[in-house]
Chains A and B, each alone.
Chain A
Amino acid sequence: GNSVTQMEGPVTLSEEAFLTINCTYTATGYPSLFWYVQYPGEGLQLLLKATKADDKGSNKGFEATYRKETTSFHLEKGSVQVSDSAVYFCALLYSSASKIIFGSGTRLSIRP
């Protein structure tokens, strides 16, 4: 079936470190891919998305590239800040389906 697998957390980094959170997916066809973020005390927010192979989604310094050959959508940021501390969810969507399939989430903590 369709699924999303992301690296387990928690991930703890120092401020200004480079961040990678791995995400791979299993799906037939060509899903759209997303990263959602859940800041403490807030609802889930869409961070970025990519709708086809080789697309790069970007927002707030975060980037992720849709890699069909490796079925991956890894999240990266060159220099993290304390305010980036949150739980990050990788997700996929089929255009014909009504549901988004989420990964299990990766908790990120940034030390000052």
Chain B
Amino acid sequence: DAGVTQSPTHLIKTRGQHVTLRCSPISGHKSVSWYQQVLGQGPQFIFQYYEKEERGRGNFPDRFSARQFPNYSSELNVNALLLGDSALYLCASSFSSGNTGELFFGEGSRLTVL
């Protein structure tokens, strides 16, 4: 069975640019969460979506946005990139909206901002 898939796996952008990261959850999973993992730190929560609705948002600026599609896949968008946005962006899926903490993570998209 396919796990959580993310694309692209690596990308390099320059300051001020925009980036879109994509995530496909495990088949049957309806909830998608996004986390940012800066090198040497633990993942930080950005968003959770369930049934196309935002269910939670972390302490990130409005430059960060996301959406979920009818097939439950999701996109994370970051505008006006800053050097500090360089990180591994993780997508995680779960079956229900009720968060039991049992998330299934993808391998991440590593973003480098120059």
User: Is residue B8 within 8 Å, beta carbon to beta carbon, of the partner chain?
Assistant: no
Known: A43-B108, A49-B101. A99 touches B58 (CB 8 A): yes
User: Is residue B18 within 8 Å, beta carbon to beta carbon, of the partner chain?
Assistant: no
B105 adjacent to A44 (CB under 8 Å): yes
Q: How many A-B residue pairs have CB under 8 A?
A: 64
B101 adjacent to A91 (CB under 8 Å): yes
B90 neighbours in A (Cβ, 8 Å): 43-44
B107 adjacent to A42 (CB under 8 Å): yes
A49 vs B103: C-alpha distance in the bound complex, in angstroms? 12
B101 adjacent to A43 (CB under 8 Å): no
Distance in angstroms from A47 CB to nearest chain B CB is 11
**Residues 1 to 55 of chain B near chain A (Cβ within 8 Å):** 3-4, 33, 40-45, 48, 55
Known: A43-B90, A98-B48. A104 touches B55 (CB 8 A): no
B106 adjacent to A105 (CB under 8 Å): no
Known: A34-B101, A98-B56, A98-B99. A43 touches B43 (CB 8 A): no
Q: Select which of A43, A45, A99, A102 is within 8 A of B48 by beta carbon.
A: A99
Distance in angstroms from B72 CB to nearest chain A CB is 16
User: Is residue A100 within 8 Å, beta carbon to beta carbon, of the partner chain?
Assistant: yes
User: Is residue B62 within 8 Å, beta carbon to beta carbon, of the partner chain?
Assistant: no
B101 adjacent to A45 (CB under 8 Å): no
Distance in angstroms from B49 CB to nearest chain A CB is 10
Distance in angstroms from A94 CB to nearest chain B CB is 9
B55 adjacent to A98 (CB under 8 Å): yes
A45 vs B4: C-alpha distance in the bound complex, in angstroms? 12
Known: A104-B42, A105-B41. A99 touches B56 (CB 8 A): yes
B108 adjacent to A100 (CB under 8 Å): no
Chain A contacts to B: CB under 8 angstroms: 4, 32, 34, 41-46, 49, 89, 91, 93, 95, 97-105
User: Could you list 10 further interchain pairs (A-B, Cβ under 8 angstroms) beyond the known A44-B43, A91-B101, A104-B42?
Assistant: A4-B42, A41-B107, A43-B104, A43-B106, A44-B103, A49-B101, A99-B33, A99-B99, A102-B42, A102-B44
